[in-house]
């Protein structure tokens, strides 16, 4: 299966067909070629496991020091790339925090330009959110502090400077942010970081022959790469040492969705989505993960198994042309799992996972609708000085999001985890049933979510909602809202100092 042959016959054929159509039709009418890397990825490098970020205790807070820097990284053979990273030159350490503790993030910007650092999926005060309204000027630091008040989950962090998020993430700024809690820690789930609990940051990038990072194919969906990296490793191999291994998968790509599965079609068990555990383990053979989403799966291996994690062609609900342009027809080898000849026994998965949660409020205080079209939401493009609406603290709302484009979009809300109520009037797929902060919105299939704003009212600092295909977000497919306590009023927002880019 892993022939080590650099190009498969199929990849050669599609490349040839693409060259031919370029010649015949000229560049502007050229269709994006399909990408097929099945059998063509020489899996020969051990998967890099991001180190756990160090922390210190200071006046009751757990403190993390995160420095955003530029540097050079040898990602592929042939040379090095100019990359950005956190406490390193590419990607960042895994930040691990516990429910109930107060944390402080000392973020220092040693990059040559303004950026920000956003805690995607965190429930926190808006001023700590790290969105486009909390820019960090070069050479300066930003130190938000908050109490972790949410259940165990796989979250992540990445920059959010308006108009520049795609570029900053593509260059390497991203890391995982894991929340632990006592309840989840007591479940018999694989939980030894880097041993049987493995983070997988999946990204696609394009490299020049000299090893430098180049912006790849740009379509209406965004920036698509031709090489898949996992935790920054090209051609990654993960050695399995236990019968069951938990994979915490983050789609950290700028535009590409993945439909993950295994090359031998074995089933795996989904245990968690963006914001926490599912009620019960869910056996699947494919799982769709759009940009920004996370999924945790448990895979069972037999001794000496050799099995590849693959992304299969999938249905985004868009036309064939748009699907090709979004990479949804591509078939990509992602990661080789190589099981040791002797595997440690793992406990059986529990039949029930999540603790009791509050049901969605049957008396929502507001209904809102959001139309996603043409890089806009409800016809408007992001304006950092505009607040689109306010919500009352400690109330629930129902939001209906409809993608009316023939293009893939998803929808992400800052500061909360929401519940997907239905999609086109039908219950969501069971893997979407847990807490979510990002949801794929297929065209013409309205997605209804229940959102609850429990606390953290702040009339001065808005939270964002946006499409997480980063080209769309950067082009302005984003809006802002504020959470108000009784008696509070919206206040006019000043422009973002140093953080607004025109492009």
Tell me: does residue 294 bind ligand C2O (CB under 6 A): no
Tell me: does residue 292 bind ligand C2O (CB under 6 A): yes
DSSP of 48-84:
P-PPBPP-EEETTEEEEEEEEEEEEEEEETTEEEEEE
- Rule CB under 5 A: choose which of 213, 228, 328, 469 binds Cu ion: 469
Q: Which among 309-317, 332-340, 396-404, 463-471 is the span making contact with ligand C2O, rule CB under 6 A?
A: 463-471
Buried b (16+ CB within 10 A) or exposed e, 475-499: bbbbbbbbbbeeebeeeebeebeeb
Helices (H), 116-254: 165-170, 182-185
CB of 119 to Cu ion, least distance (A): 7
- Token pair belonging to 397: 């709302």
CB 176 within 8 A of CB 48: no
Tell me: does residue 120 bind Cu ion (CB under 5 A): yes
Buried b (16+ CB within 10 A) or exposed e, 25-58: eeeeeeebbbbbbbbbbbbeeebbbbeebebeee
DSSP of 378-406:
TTB---TT---EEEETTEEEEEEEEE-SS
Residue of closest CB approach to ligand C2O: 120
The strand pair at 145-147 and 153-158 is best described as unpaired
CB of 412 to Cu ion, least distance (A): 5
Helices (H), 428-486: 470-474
CB of 412 to ligand C2O, least distance (A): 5
- Rule CB under 6 A: choose which of 414, 448, 472, 475 binds ligand C2O: 414
CB of 236 to ligand C2O, least distance (A): 23
- Token pair belonging to 354: 């999540």
Tell me: does residue 295 bind ligand C2O (CB under 6 A): no
Tell me: does residue 310 bind Cu ion (CB under 5 A): no
CA 437 centroid distance within chain: 10
Tell me: does residue 160 bind ligand C2O (CB under 6 A): yes
Q: Which among 11-19, 76-84, 363-371, 409-417 is the span making contact with Cu ion, rule CB under 5 A?
A: 409-417
Q: Which helix (DSSP H) or strand (DSSP E) does residue 199 occupy?
A: strand 197-207
Q: Which among 2-10, 52-60, 114-122, 264-272 is the span making contact with Cu ion, rule CB under 5 A?
A: 114-122
448 binds, among Cu ion, ligand C2O, none (CB under 5 to 8 A by kind): none
CB of 122 to ligand C2O, least distance (A): 10
Q: Which among 140-148, 311-319, 353-361, 401-409 is the span making contact with Cu ion, rule CB under 5 A?
A: 401-409
CB of 439 to Cu ion, least distance (A): 12
- Cα separation of 104 and 95, whole Å? 11
CB of 192 to ligand C2O, least distance (A): 27
- Rule CB under 6 A: choose which of 118, 123, 205, 448 binds ligand C2O: 118
Q: Which is nearer to Cu ion, 172 or 442 (CB)?
A: 442
CB of 468 to ligand C2O, least distance (A): 6
CB 202 within 8 A of CB 247: no
- For binding to Cu ion (CB under 5 A), which residues are involved? 120, 409, 414, 467, 469, 472
- For binding to ligand C2O (CB under 6 A), which residues are involved? 118, 120, 158, 160, 292, 412, 414, 464, 466, 468
């Amino acid at each position: 299966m892993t022939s080590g042959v650099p190009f498969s016959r199929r990849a050669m054929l599609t490349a040839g067909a693409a060259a031919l159509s370029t010649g015949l039709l000229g560049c502007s009418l050229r269709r994006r070629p399909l990408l097929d890397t099945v059998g063509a990825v020489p899996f020969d490098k051990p998967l890099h496991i991001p180190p756990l970020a160090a922390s210190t205790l200071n006046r009751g807070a757990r403190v993390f020091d995160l420095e955003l820097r530029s540097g050079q990284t040898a990602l592929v053979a042939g040379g090095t790339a100019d990359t950005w990273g956190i406490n390193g030159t590419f990607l960042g350490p895994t930040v691990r925090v516990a429910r109930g503790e107060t944390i402080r993030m000392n973020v220092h910007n040693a990059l040559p330009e303004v950026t920000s650092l956003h805690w995607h999926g965190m429930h926190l005060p808006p001023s700590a959110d790290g969105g486009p309204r909390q820019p960090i000027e070069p050479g300066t630091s930003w130190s938000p502090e908050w109490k972790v008040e949410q259940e165990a989950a796989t979250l992540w962090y990445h920059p959010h400077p308006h108009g520049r998020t795609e570029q900053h993430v593509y260059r390497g700024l991203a890391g995982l942010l894991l929340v632990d809690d006592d309840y989840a820690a007591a479940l018999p789930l694989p939980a030894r970081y880097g041993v049987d609990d493995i983070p997988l940051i999946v990204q696609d990038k394009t490299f020049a022959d000299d090893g430098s990072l180049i912006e790849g194919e740009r379509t209406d969906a965004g920036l698509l790469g031709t090489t898949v990296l996992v935790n920054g490793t090209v051609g990654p191999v993960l050695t399995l040492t236990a019968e069951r291994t938990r994979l915490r998968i983050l789609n950290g790509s700028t535009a590409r969705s993945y439909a993950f599965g295994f090359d031998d079609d074995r089933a795996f068990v989904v245990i968690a989505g963006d914001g926490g555990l599912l009620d019960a383990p869910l056996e699947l053979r494919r799982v769709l993960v759009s940009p920004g989403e996370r999924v945790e799966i448990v895979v069972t291996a037999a001794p000496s198994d050799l099995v590849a994690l693959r992304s299969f062609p999938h249905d985004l609900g868009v036309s064939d042309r748009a699907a090709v342009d979004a990479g949804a027809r591509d078939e990509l080898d992602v990661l080789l799992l190589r099981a040791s000849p002797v595997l440690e026994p793992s406990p059986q998965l529990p039949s029930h996972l999540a603790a009791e949660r509050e049901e969605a409020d049957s008396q929502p205080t507001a209904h809102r609708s959001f139309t996603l079209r043409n890089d806009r939401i409800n016809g408007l493009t992001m304006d950092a000085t505009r607040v689109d609406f306010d919500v009352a603290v400690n109330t629930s709302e129902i939001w209906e999001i409809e993608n009316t484009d023939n293009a893939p979009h998803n929808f992400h809300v800052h500061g909360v985890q929401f519940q997907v109520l239905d999609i086109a009037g039908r219950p969501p797929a069971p893997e979407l049933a847990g807490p979510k902060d990002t949801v794929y919105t297929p065209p013409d299939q309205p997605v209804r979510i229940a959102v609850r704003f429990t606390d953290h009212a702040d009339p001065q600092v808005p939270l964002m909602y946006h499409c997480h295909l980063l080209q769309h977000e950067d082009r302005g497919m984003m809006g802002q809202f504020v959470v108000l306590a009784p008696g509070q009023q919206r206040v006019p927002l000043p422009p973002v100092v140093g953080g607004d880019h025109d492009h």
